[in-house]
Amino acid sequence: MSTLLLAQRIQPIVVDPGLYLARRTQIFHATEKRPMPDSFTVFTGICDLGEYALLNNTLSCFSGSQWVILSRSFLEYCILGWDNLPRTLLMYVNNMILSQEVYFHSVICNSPEFKNTTVNGDLRYMVWDNPPRMEPHSLNLSDYDEMIQSGAAFGTQFEKNDAVLDMVDEKILKRGRNRAAPGAWCTGRKSWLMDPCTQWGDVNVLKPGPRVKKLEESVSSLLDDWKSQSNQCR
């Protein structure tokens, strides 16, 4: 990443009204910009996870997906922060645009205890327009086949009440109109007029559905990649 692009990411001071307003509102920029840091060295480059910057001799800034699954032990570290790293990075990314794509990634990749415990995949299917826009392409019926073949557990983004959501309900979740997605906990008789989930047994029972094999392959592939890499914070 060039010095100019790095400055454009770090120097602007942004405020997100969504922190204090109920409705979704665009962020706005302060009239002044903060100076580039001079108390540490800035490293410029591109990595698989996106942009990163060397904040000092031992502290790097990584970026990646905003959709993450965090372990309990790591969250305890972020809250307690016994070496002050989580608080230091929290102050650094404060009022930075897209800080949700930077904070946890930087904490985990700068912590000797948690570094390289990451699995680099968010199990999410998305399609970007060409050239890319601010948000990914809204998925529709034309994306359905590739979406289910991807093995992703999640998809983004969908328009409200789009027909592709009805197809997901019908083909994958086997969910009837205005009904819950049926599972092994549903013990009622299934018919056109009767919802089997109006009666239920043990709600903790899990029974793999027909798509679980594809998800298993995706997760196994991610874990194989994790085991083969000596540095997941790349």
Asked if the structure places residue 205 within a domain, the reply is yes
Q: Measured between alpha carbons, how far is 84 from 198 in angstroms, rounded to an integer?
A: 51
Residue 146's pLDDT is 92
Asked if the structure places residue 117 within a domain, the reply is no
In the structure encoding, which two tokens stand for residue 179, read together? 């009904």
Instruction: List the pLDDT tens digit at each of the 234 positions of the chain.
Output: 455 556 676 778 888 887 788 887 888 888 888 776 554 333 333 333 333 333 333 444 555 677 888 899 999 999 988 788 888 888 877 777 777 777 888 888 888 888 878 887 778 888 888 887 778 889 999 999 999 888 888 888 999 999 999 999 988 888 888 888 888 888 888 777 888 888 888 988 888 877 788 888 888 888 887 777 666 676
Asked if the structure places residue 233 within a domain, the reply is no
Is 136 within 8 Å of 127 (Cβ atoms)?
A: yes
Residue 232's pLDDT is 65
Residues 73 and 130 in one domain: no
In the structure encoding, which two tokens stand for residue 15, read together? 């405020």
Sign of the Cα torsion 16, 100, 80, 59 reads: negative
130 CB contacts (<8 Å, ≥6 apart)?
Answer: none
15 φ/ψ angles, rounded to the nearest 5 degrees? -125, 130
Range of the domain at 151: 124-228
- Domain final position from 62, 80, 110: 110
Residues 49 and 143 in one domain: no
- Domain tally, the chain: 2
> 3-class SS at 152?
coil
Whole-prediction pTM: 0.64
Q: Measured between alpha carbons, how far is 145 from 207 in angstroms, rounded to an integer?
A: 24
Closest CA to 174 of 218, 212, 210: 210
Residue 234's pLDDT is 60
Asked if the structure places residue 22 within a domain, the reply is yes
Residues 101 and 133 in one domain: no
Crossing angle (nearest 10°) for helices 72-80 and 103-110 = 90
Asked if the structure places residue 157 within a domain, the reply is yes
Residue 44's pLDDT is 30
Residues 128 and 103 in one domain: no
- Domain final position from 110, 132, 158: 110
- Domain final position from 78, 110, 142: 110
Residues 60 and 158 in one domain: no
